[in-house]
Amino acid sequence: MIRDTTWGAKLWATAVWVLVGFFIVNLLAMIATVVTSSFATRWLGTWLPVGWTTRWYASAWSEFQLGDILIVTFQVVGMVVVISGLLGVTAAYALARRDFPGKRLLVLLFLLPLLIPPITFGIPLATVLYRTGLAGTFWGVVAANLVPTVPFVILVMIPFIEQIDPKLEAAARVFGANTFKLFIHVLMPLLLPGILAALLLVLVRTIAMFELTFLVAGPTSQTLVVALYYAVFAAGVRAVQSIDAMAVIYMVTTLIWLIIALRFINPTQIVTRAKQQPAH
């Protein structure tokens, strides 16, 4: 490793760490503000609240009907995870194992929903879903959320499947396994870590997916993040602490899954979608 020992280099390194520290302090202070406020009796013009209470959680729970919203959220997320797993893994297997005309076009088709921001394709998508009457329903929300998650699973799984030796599958074929048996007995056990990682990422991303759910959800099909948006949007109607209590419930819901996900994946995977495709 190269060691720079000049004063300039040391000063530069210190400046960079101060910058990182400043960012992290502000980030954590921002989160701490929300948590503190949710436990505050009254917090105006002082460093810390006058007193502490947990009653905002009870009031937020009943005011925002969080029980119902949480059930809807987990149903939507569960459905999205299962369907994107089924569609994504099978398609990724075909793309990883076969070379056929039009493959690059297909990969581009799966890449686009990840590169185009949800609000850009969400508006035409919502228009179509409103015309077909799906918007506002549970399945409309699931369908909209699947648009970026299916390609995400495909692109995460392709490199994972490519690294499994095709000889294993050939051996299973020799012993008379059909495609279904091959999937269940040979591929599934080998692919399980990859599928788990991909689906956990889908889960975390779907809980936080605001735009698509917001554009197509109706009153009975909104998820927690959309309900939080409406609560913040109508701030002033309700106590700030009540909204913050809801925000904390949202944070806890997301972070539990993030912590579980981080046991299986590297945090950078949340941003870098998949390994770079090798140039053909």
Interface of this chain with other proteins, residues 120 to 139, rule: CB under 8 A: 120-121, 123-128, 130
| 150 lies in the binding site for other proteins (CB under 8 A) | yes
Q: Interacting stretch for other proteins, rule CB under 8 A, among 53-61, 74-82, 189-197, 266-274?
A: 266-274
Q: Can you give the length of the chain in residues?
A: 280
Mark residues 184-223: x for contact with other proteins by CB under 8 A, - for none.
Answer: --------------------x---xxxx--xx--------
Residues 5-64 within binding reach of other proteins (CB under 8 A): 9, 12-13, 16-17, 19-20, 23-24, 26-31, 33-34, 37, 44-45, 47
How deeply is 159 buried, as exposed, middle or buried, from its count of CB atoms within 10 A (0-12, 13-18, 19+)?
Answer: middle
Structure tokens at 173: 């074929």
Q: Return the residue of 5, 100, 174, 278 that touches other proteins, per CB under 8 A.
A: 100
Question: CA 162, CA 277: separation in Å to the nearest integer?
Answer: 11
8 Å CB contact between 94 and 106: no
Q: Provide the minimum distance between the beta carbon of 106 and other proteins in the complex, in angstroms, as a whole number.
A: 6
Question: CA 249, CA 91: separation in Å to the nearest integer?
Answer: 36
Q: Return the residue of 179, 181, 184, 237 that touches other proteins, per CB under 8 A.
A: 179
Question: CA 63, CA 57: separation in Å to the nearest integer?
Answer: 10
Structure tokens at 60: 């937020």
| 87 lies in the binding site for other proteins (CB under 8 A) | yes
**Count of CA atoms in the C-beta half-sphere (13 A) of 125:** 25
Q: Provide the minimum distance between the beta carbon of 113 and other proteins in the complex, in angstroms, as a whole number.
A: 5
Q: Give the residue ranges of DSSP H helices in the chain.
A: 7-38, 55-63, 66-97, 103-115, 118-132, 138-162, 166-174, 179-181, 188-208, 211-216, 224-233, 240-262
8 Å CB contact between 241 and 54: no
Q: Return the residue of 170, 219, 268, 278 that touches other proteins, per CB under 8 A.
A: 268
* Number of residues binding to other proteins, judged by CB under 8 A: 93
Q: Return the residue of 50, 58, 119, 256 that touches other proteins, per CB under 8 A.
A: 119
Q: Interacting stretch for other proteins, rule CB under 8 A, among 54-62, 63-71, 157-165, 226-234?
A: 226-234
Structure tokens at 68: 């119902």
Could you give the 3-state DSSP secondary structure of residue 52? Answer: strand
Q: Return the residue of 10, 55, 97, 181 that touches other proteins, per CB under 8 A.
A: 97
| 88 lies in the binding site for other proteins (CB under 8 A) | yes
Q: Which residues pair with 52 in a beta bridge?
A: 40
Question: CA 141, CA 122: separation in Å to the nearest integer?
Answer: 11
Q: Return the residue of 50, 82, 232, 237 that touches other proteins, per CB under 8 A.
A: 232
For other proteins, give the closer residue by CB, 108 or 192: 108
